[in-house]
């Protein structure tokens, strides 16, 4: 899907289709995080601190349990 930015006052806006918003569960009240690597802009629903902490805990446990397997697969 290609989009163009729309002039809104002194800013530019990106208008997203209802279908795309419905597919991602985003509505007008959803807080969003916007980040970039300098080339790509990423827009995603803001994650709660508890959810982020739980994800980090899961990743740490997976690394502890399966880190050796991943290392061997990488070789």
pLDDT in tens, 46-57: 877 787 788 889
Strand runs labelled E in the chain: 6-8, 11-13, 32-36, 41-45
Q: What are phi and psi of 31, to 5 degrees?
A: -70, 140
pLDDT at 23: 93
> What average pLDDT does the segment 45-72 reach?
87
Instruction: Report yes or no on whether pTM surpasses 0.75.
Output: no
SS3 state at 56: helix
Predicted confidence (pLDDT) per residue in 12-44, tens digit: 999 999 999 999 889 999 999 999 999 999 998
């Amino acid at each position: 899907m290609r989009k163009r930015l729309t002039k809104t006052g002194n800013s530019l806006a990106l208008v997203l289709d209802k279908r795309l918003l419905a597919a991602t569960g985003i509505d007008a009240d959803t807080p969003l995080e916007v980040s970039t690597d300098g080339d790509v802009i990423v827009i995603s629903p803001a994650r709660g601190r508890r959810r982020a902490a739980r994800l980090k805990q899961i990743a740490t446990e997976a690394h502890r349990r399966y880190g050796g397997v991943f290392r061997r697969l990488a070789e």
